[in-house]
Amino acid sequence: MFIFVEFSDYSLLQEYLCNSQDIDLMEALQIPNFLVKRIKLSQWYDLAQELDTSGNLFEEASEKACLIDIQFLEIDSKVLSYLEGLNKDLKTKVIFYSSSGGSLGLETKKIWQKNSFQYIELKKADEKVKLKLTIDYNIKLGLELSESKIANLAKQSQNYQEIIDNLDFVYLSENPQKAYESLLIEEKALPFMLGFDVLKADSQVSKWYNLIQEGDIQLALSLIFGKLDKQNSPRARELLLKLILTDQKIKTRGKISPTLWWKLFLWEAKMI
């Protein structure tokens, strides 16, 4: 069976293979190339020989699927005809993917599917699977992490392999607690969540300074304008005028970076 799989992360493919063969994902993630034989294809017409030398896939069922990286190879009618001939005699799954682009593209995808080949998209890790994997591997390693710590690691992990790697790091460290804390990703506040009260400028200005990058300065100025406009006080009106002037300088004085004008405005906000 020929299948093209589009995936954003390799551990998603491992999950797909485990589900199709009723195998534990945790086991697969700990063993390199578990469940697959990898082949990098330089031209389509090498495929028959590659499959034949990778475990006699034409003659008997193999425990492993064959994973073929087609790289930049194109798919046309001749290629599809060739693949259809090979597909008739296969006794196992042959999974194609492209390390150069990920997907086949809309038109090629349609052609692939018209020839009765499967096309599967694996987009993101399942949150429930991530949590279960974290719980199970925590138990296996005997780490005894609390439920909240397990939930935090599962939530912030981008893929299944990261969960295994992070828990291995905690397990192998001399100080598991510090190792765990070093893995935590601090959640940054969104700009619209920050306050800008002229009476609390000393404590609030530093948060804006640390959070806002150059590409977000215009958004920040717009948000602060709205917050100052609601404060009916001489200090708020004075700072509102400075904000308007700052915006004008950013737009008209191109030789000076927007970041410098932004930092100057924040300094003036603290001084008022």
Which of 167, 183, 199 lies at the terminal end of a domain, its last residue?
A: 183
- Answer whether 0.95 is exceeded by the pTM: no
> Does the structure show a pLDDT above 70 at 59?
no
Q: Which of 110-119, 123-132, 206-215: highest mean pLDDT?
A: 123-132
Shared-domain flag, residues 204 and 249: yes
Q: What is the DSSP letter of 119?
A: E
pLDDT at 58: 45
Shared-domain flag, residues 105 and 150: no
pLDDT at 92: 73
Shared-domain flag, residues 242 and 171: no
Q: Which residue range is the domain that position 156 belongs to?
A: 127-183
Report how many domains make up the chain. Answer: 3
Write out pLDDT tens, residues 79-96: 988 998 888 777 777 899
Q: Which of 31-40, 57-66, 117-126, 187-196: highest mean pLDDT?
A: 117-126
Rounded distance between C-alpha atoms, residue 220 and residue 211, angstroms:
10
Neighbours of 131 (CB within 10 A): 17
Which of 148, 183, 218 lies at the terminal end of a domain, its last residue?
A: 183
Q: What is the DSSP letter of 185?
A: P
Rounded distance between C-alpha atoms, residue 71 and residue 99, angstroms:
5
Shared-domain flag, residues 211 and 249: yes
Rounded distance between C-alpha atoms, residue 69 and residue 87, angstroms:
17
Residue 95 and residue 5 in contact, taking contact as beta carbons nearer than 8 Å: yes
Strand 2-7 versus strand 36-40 pairing type: unpaired
Shared-domain flag, residues 175 and 245: no
Shared-domain flag, residues 251 and 225: yes
Shared-domain flag, residues 92 and 138: no
Query: What tokens does 100 get?
Result: 């150069």
pLDDT at 189: 58
Rounded distance between C-alpha atoms, residue 159 and residue 126, angstroms:
9
Whose structure tokens read 């038109």?
107
Which of 96, 122, 148 lies at the terminal end of a domain, its last residue?
A: 122
CATH number at residue 88: 3.40.50
Shared-domain flag, residues 116 and 132: no
Query: What tokens does 265 get?
Result: 């405005």
